[in-house]
């Protein structure tokens, strides 16, 4: 992996997993020392992360990790839900046996990494799974918006202290989506995706009543 890609991936991972917490200040020099690369490489990484909405760069004020706001998170989830459900009917009509084979491979890999406890890799595969379905719809202008929504919904989920779902259960939540797509059932696929997105954060009844 090239230095610029490695730097981008490393900082992105730390932000998604909330190792770099919302609102924390980042410096190019500090990150360059941590990552063992040049400040120029870090600067390129931060520009990409700004495009992802994961950092805020404000000139002389420097760079900070984007804050997490509950109301904004609700809007992101609602937007993600609308985009994925809108693409569902088109995706179900366009799906091929080859696409189903690839999605099943992603499902199997999600379960494998979940069993191994690799949370971040599960997030990457989850993103690949949802994007693979959405791309079947051919709504290319919306893809980058969806990518951003998916990133932020994962970040918000991991920040929520009451979220308690085991990783393997998280991986297996994609099976009903796959089944509706395999049946070429557009309405059923939209319903499955809507339910999946609505229940991204799992809050136990004990913690809710606490």
Mean pLDDT, the chain, whole residue set: 93
Residue 206 has pLDDT above 70, yes or no: no
Give the residue among 171, 151, 53, 59 at the shortest CA–CA distance from 110.
171
Tell whether 7 and 60 lie within a shared domain.
yes
Phi, psi (rounded to 5 degrees) for 184? 55, 35
Residue 186 has pLDDT above 70, yes or no: yes
Last residue of a domain, one of 65, 81, 99: 65
Domain CATH for 45: 1.10.10.10
Q: Calculate what percentage of the chain has a pLDDT beyond 90.
A: 84
Tell whether 121 and 134 lie within a shared domain.
yes
- Residue 208 counted as domain residue: no
What is residue 207's predicted lDDT score, i.e. its pLDDT?
37
Tell whether 128 and 149 lie within a shared domain.
yes
Phi-psi region of 105 (alpha: psi -120 to 50; beta: other; left: phi over 0): alpha
- Residue 102 counted as domain residue: yes
Check: CB of residue 125 under 8 Å from CB of residue 106: yes
Last residue of a domain, one of 65, 85, 118: 65
What is residue 203's predicted lDDT score, i.e. its pLDDT?
59
Last residue of a domain, one of 20, 35, 65: 65
- Residue 210 counted as domain residue: no
Q: What is the rounded CA–CA span in Å between residue 210 and residue 208?
A: 6
Residues in the chain: 210
User: Which domain, by its residues, includes 34?
Assistant: 3-65
Q: Which range, of 29-43, 55-69, 139-153, 193-207, averages the lowest pLDDT?
A: 193-207
| Alpha-helix runs per DSSP H in the chain | 3-16, 28-35, 39-51, 70-94, 97-115, 119-136, 143-159, 167-172, 175-182, 186-198, 205-209
Residue 105 has pLDDT above 60, yes or no: yes
């Amino acid at each position: 992996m090239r230095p610029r890609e490695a730097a981008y991936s490393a900082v992105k991972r730390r932000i998604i997993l909330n190792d770099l917490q919302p609102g924390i200040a980042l410096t190019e020099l500090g990150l360059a020392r941590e990552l063992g690369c040049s400040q120029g490489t870090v600067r390129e990484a931060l520009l990409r992360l700004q495009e992802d909405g994961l950092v805020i760069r404000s000139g002389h004020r420097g760079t900070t990790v984007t804050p997490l706001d509950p109301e904004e998170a609700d809007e992101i989830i609602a937007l993600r839900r609308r985009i994925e459900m809108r693409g569902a009917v088109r995706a179900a009509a366009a799906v091929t046996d080859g696409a189903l084979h690839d999605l099943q491979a992603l499902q199997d890999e999600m379960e494998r990494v979940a069993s191994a406890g690799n949370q971040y890799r599960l997030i990457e595969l989850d993103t690949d799974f949802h994007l693979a379905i959405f791309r079947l719809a051919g709504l290319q202008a919306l893809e980058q918006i969806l990518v951003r929504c998916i990133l932020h919904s994962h970040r918000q989920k991991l920040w929520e202290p009451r979220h308690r779902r085991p990783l393997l259960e998280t991986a297996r939540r994609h099976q009903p989506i796959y089944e509706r797509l395999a049946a070429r059932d557009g309405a059923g696929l939209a319903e499955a995706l809507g339910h999946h997105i609505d229940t991204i954060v799992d809050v136990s009844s004990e913690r809710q009543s606490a």
